[in-house]
Amino acid sequence: MTPDNIQFRTGVIKPVECLKEGWALIKDQYWLFLGIVFVGIFIASAVPLVLIGPMMAGIYLGYFRKMRGEPVEFGTLFKGFDYFAQSLIAALIQAIPMVIVIVPMYILMFVFMMLSVPRGGGRMDPDESTTFAFTFLGFYLVFIVVILIVAFIVTLFFLFSFPLIADRNLSGLDSVKLSIQAAKANLGGIFGLVLLNFALGFLGVLCCYIGAVFLMPVSFASYAVAYRRVFPETLQNFASPPPPPANWAA
């Protein structure tokens, strides 16, 4: 299947509705999906660029099976390795914006530290040490904010890439292209949904990270619901009235 053969809908992502539908989708198997998502993220973090693709594909395969009323097992997660090559390509493409931002920031931080070291191996006086500490802290905070903003933007535009690989068997490059097209056409809804999940995740982090962990399967479910709203399962789905407003885009 090629992107030219796939149509998507616009104006169908309602953030709160997607979150509610996501919870309704998995609530009877919440603990299973918590295990799938938690283990998937854990394995992906072991070798991020290499394993994140198949793990994401496997996670979404579980949600799509649930949507179709098919049995979901923990082993569904590892079905994502059937899409290893293409999901790896998609992951590498998604990493490019982060690398472009992170590498120069680290270089600037290293240069700043080198320039701040007293010449001749001497010690900083108390005032210089205080200035250095506050300056470094400020630089680090800016660094974190920039990373969060870039991560948010990457999530917006690449949100559908792994689901497209798992659901439509697209190539890594084609999935990224189509994800960006669909995201641009649904930018308001996706922005609201991602922002809502980021905010809930932040509240979860404040609860000693436990809340964020328990939220993960619901967040993924909301993204799976948003994906299915934009990319219905079959053309027959269009015979029923789509969620308003619904406009076609290619």
Which H or E element spans position 249?
Answer: strand 247-249
CB count in 10 Å sphere of residue 162: 32
Q: What is the pLDDT of residue 83?
A: 96
Average pLDDT of the segment spanning 110-123: 67
pTM given for the model: 0.82
What's the mean pLDDT when you consider all of the chain? 86
Read off the DSSP letter of residue 123: P
- 77-113 tens-digit pLDDT: 999 999 999 999 999 999 998 888 888 888 887 787 7
Read off the DSSP letter of residue 170: -
Cα–Cα distance measured from residue 57 to residue 44, given in angstroms and rounded to the nearest whole number: 11
Environment class of 25 (CB within 10 Å of its CB; exposed 0-12, middle 13-18, buried 19+) = buried
Q: What is the pLDDT of residue 148?
A: 87
Percent with pLDDT over 90 in the chain = 60
Question: How far is residue 126 CA from its own chain's centroid?
Answer: 44
Residues 6+ apart with CB under 8 A from 25: 63, 66, 67, 221, 224, 225
Question: How far is residue 234 CA from its own chain's centroid?
Answer: 25
**Residue that wins the pLDDT comparison between 145 and 35:** 35
Instruction: Tell me the range of 9-23, 106-120, 143-157 where mean pLDDT is highest.
Output: 9-23
Q: Where are the alpha helices (DSSP H) in 68-186?
A: 84-116, 126-158, 161-168, 172-185
Range from 48-52, 67-71, 156-160, 241-245 carrying the lowest mean pLDDT:
241-245
Average pLDDT of the segment spanning 181-186: 94
Cα–Cα distance measured from residue 74 to residue 61, given in angstroms and rounded to the nearest whole number: 11
**Residue that wins the pLDDT comparison between 250 and 132:** 132
SS3 content of the chain, % helix, strand, coil (to 5): 80, 0, 15
Asked whether residue 210 carries a pLDDT value surpassing 90, the answer given is: no
